[in-house]
């Protein structure tokens, strides 16, 4: 799509979280696919991982059109689509699935303005040991 995708993480190490690997991967895939599908060519999509105390923070940041602040809670509803997204592919289930998976795993999810674009932050507890 003529977009730019990058990933940044701190120095190599073991980063463990407790949860279902497939569901957590689906959560991240849905966020990246949303950025790809709803952003124009030339958009930067940056993924990052960082430690914040005993929590890991995964971030998906883009320079696309973003989501107006008044709509941010609504986009997690099943079948909800922004007016500007009604003509793009999708069913309106992606972010509701993201919310369900996040809630199941105790992941805090926030949406913020990237000026321009959107920042999605996922904060989750680090696992203490391998299960």
Assess if residue 86 is contained within a domain. yes
Q: Check which CATH number belongs to the domain holding 71 and give it.
A: 3.30.565.10
Strands (E), 10-131: 44-52, 55-62, 108-113, 118-125
Would you say residue 131 lies in a domain?
A: no
* Per-position DSSP letters for 53-68, written without gaps between them: TTEEEEEEEE-S----
Domain that holds residue 33: 4-8+16-125
pLDDT score of 75: 79
81: tokens are 């689509």
**Single pTM value for the model:** 0.83
pLDDT of residue 67: 86
Does 85 map to a domain? yes
99-114 in b/e form (b: 16+ CB < 10 A) is: bebbeebebebebbeb
Smallest CA-to-CA distance from 32 within 2, 68, 5, 1 is with 5
Task: Report if residue 61 sits inside a domain.
Answer: yes
Domain assignment present for residue 130? The answer is: no
Domain contains 77: yes
Number of domains observed in the structure of the chain: 1
Q: Tell me the per-residue pLDDT of 24-64, one tens digit each, with 9 for 90 and over.
A: 999 999 999 989 988 899 999 999 999 888 899 999 999 99
Tens of pLDDT, residues 88-107: 555 555 788 899 999 999 99
Q: Is residue 114 part of a domain?
A: yes
For every residue of 82-99, DSSP letters joined together read: -GGGTTSS--S-HHHHHH
Domain assignment present for 71: yes
If one counts every other C-beta atom within 10 angstroms of the C-beta of residue 124, the result is 19
């Amino acid at each position: 799509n003529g977009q730019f995708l990058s990933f940044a993480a701190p120095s190599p190490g073991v980063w463990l979280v407790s949860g279902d690997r497939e569901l957590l991967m689906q959560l991240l895939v849905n966020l990246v696919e949303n950025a790809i599908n709803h952003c124009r060519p030339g958009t930067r999509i940056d993924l990052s991982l960082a430690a914040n105390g005993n929590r890991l923070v995964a971030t998906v940041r883009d320079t696309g059109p973003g989501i107006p602040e008044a709509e941010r809670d609504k986009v997690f509803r099943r079948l909800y689509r922004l007016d500007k997204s009604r003509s793009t592919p999708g069913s309106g289930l992606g972010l509701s699935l993201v919310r369900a998976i996040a809630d199941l795993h105790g992941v805090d999810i926030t949406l913020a303005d990237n000026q321009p674009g959107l920042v999605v932050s996922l904060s989750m507890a680090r696992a203490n040991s391998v299960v």
